[in-house]
Amino acid sequence: MKIAYVSTYLPQQCGIATYTNYVIRAIQKVSPLVDVKVVAEKGASPVKREKFEVVPCWDRNENYVVPILSNILDADIVHIQHEFGIYKLDDRLPTLLKRLTAERKRTIITIHCITPLPFSESGVMNMAENCAKRLAELADEVIVHLESQKAILERLKIPLEKIHVITHGTALSDADKKDSRRRLQLPEEGKIITVFGFISPFKGLDLSLEVLKEIREEVEDAYLFIAGGLPPTASKKDRKYVQLLKETIEKDKLTDNVLFPDNFIPNEEIPYVFGASDVVLYPHYHEDRSASGSVHLAIGAKKPVIAYRVPKFEVVKNISDELLILPGNVSGIAKTAIRLFTDKEFEQYVLARTEQYRRATSWLVTVRKHLRLYLGVD
């Protein structure tokens, strides 16, 4: 069996590229005889090995139908990793799916993000929803990560037998806390609260500073670790936001308690970022229905997660619904973190549930579900 993944791919700094890499690495462990080909956007590194090939051949800003089609003719299954920012809302991807049907290729599409109609930023309000519906209709099978995504597709009258909820995979990591802190030059003692990822105004880092101030009233040796930097596409607004954060840190006399290296975290350092942490915060929200790969990284490191009660972080309820806090509730986040630091029984409960969930959603478990679907036995 040969599977062609149509996706962005490493070393592109893209969540879909990283996701596809995790899928492929797990498939190679579970089923090493599967032949894998990545039909990648230009920017990926070309690879040619036995049973694994990466062919960078298309550009999101050009007509990508022909270059993709010409590179998947030797595949049994074509699996498209879809995100609107990559493929846009035009007719190119539907055209590709129609051509694949004409070539008698079995097509699977993972729709990573679905935006409900009232929250679409498109000039035509229902354009994103209609695009998701059209793609789901044209593909043979559709994978989503969340029940809330499935519900939208069901409302759009996509047959239930085509929709498969396969949870976003979890990478298991067990980096030692003290070793991780030494490696990253962080304080070896004290409680580290981490916010991870590219910096953007919607990530709630200004609110995280307020959370830190409240936590320090009861836990003096608490630190906020802002683990990340600006994305390559950072706007002037993003850069001004970083400057505002630095000014706030200085004004509020938090310099000694905010760890802000302000740089991109390469993939090989990510296990140590979470390994160094005591709690990981996700104080940001939007109305897209999409899973958070970052949350799964934190869970995979067996770290308690405190997140906003929004669709993106709905998986946290599988660990403890008490870790989900209403958006903007600084005191609620701070009190929950303090409880994790001071209530050992609650902390052990959360850690045990986190261990159960990370095992149940590990990439090896997740890709076995992919393989069953590829084989038609899901």
What is the total count of domains within the chain?
2
Between residues 371 and 198, the one the model is more confident about: 371
In this structure, are 54 and 112 located in the same domain?
yes
Rounded to 10 deg, the angle between the 363-374 and 15-30 helix axes is 80
In this structure, are 344 and 369 located in the same domain?
no
Q: For residue 136, how many other CB atoms are within 10 A of its CB?
A: 23
What amino acid occupies position 174? D
How far apart CA 58 and CA 39 sit, in angstroms, is 8
Output the pLDDT for position 227: 96
In this structure, are 345 and 203 located in the same domain?
yes
| Enclosing domain of residue 256 | 177-360
* Span 182-226, pLDDT tens digits: 999 999 999 999 999 889 888 899 999 999 999 999 999 999 999
Best CA proximity match to 149, nearest among 126, 125, 165, 138: 165
* Span 29-64, pLDDT tens digits: 999 999 999 999 999 999 999 999 999 999 999 999
User: Average of pLDDT values for 113-130?
Assistant: 66
Best CA proximity match to 2, nearest among 55, 68, 52, 47: 52
Best CA proximity match to 6, nearest among 62, 54, 76: 54
* Span 266-290, pLDDT tens digits: 889 999 999 999 999 999 887 788 9
How far apart CA 131 and CA 12 sit, in angstroms, is 25
In this structure, are 191 and 147 located in the same domain?
no
In this structure, are 28 and 130 located in the same domain?
yes
Quick one: what percent of the chain has pLDDT higher than 90? 85
CATH number, domain with residue 87: 3.40.50.2000
* Span 1-15, pLDDT tens digits: 999 999 999 999 888
Output the pLDDT for position 319: 98
In this structure, are 118 and 43 located in the same domain?
yes
163-165: strand order across its sheet: 47-49, 52-58, 35-41, 2-7, 77-82, 106-111, 141-144, 163-165
In this structure, are 147 and 276 located in the same domain?
no
**Residue 328, token pair as written in the block:** 């903007």
User: Average of pLDDT values for 306-328?
Assistant: 96
Output the pLDDT for position 230: 87
What amino acid occupies position 181? R
* Res. 126: pLDDT tops 60: no
Output the pLDDT for position 125: 43
Output the pLDDT for position 117: 64
Distances (CA, A) of 207 to 152, 213, 293, 328, 334: 31, 10, 22, 8, 11
In this structure, are 273 and 157 located in the same domain?
no
User: Average of pLDDT values for 124-146?
Assistant: 87
User: Average of pLDDT values for 95-105?
Assistant: 96
pLDDT band at 128; cut points 50, 70, 90: confident
Output the pLDDT for position 286: 76
pLDDT band at 118; cut points 50, 70, 90: low
Secondary structure of residue 365 in the 3-state scheme:
helix
| Cα–chain center distance at 286 | 14
In this structure, are 107 and 64 located in the same domain?
yes
In this structure, are 356 and 366 located in the same domain?
no
User: Average of pLDDT values for 63-92?
Assistant: 95
In this structure, are 163 and 184 located in the same domain?
no
Contact status, residue 282 vs residue 308, Cβ threshold 8 Å: yes
Mean confidence (pLDDT) of the chain: 94
pLDDT band at 120; cut points 50, 70, 90: low
Annotate 7-40 with b (16+ C-beta within 10 A) or e (fewer).
Answer: bbbbebbbbbbbbbbbbbbbbeebbeebebbbbb
In this structure, are 185 and 57 located in the same domain?
no
pLDDT band at 299; cut points 50, 70, 90: very high
User: Average of pLDDT values for 330-356?
Assistant: 98
| Number of DSSP helices (H) and strands (E) in the chain, helices first | 14, 16
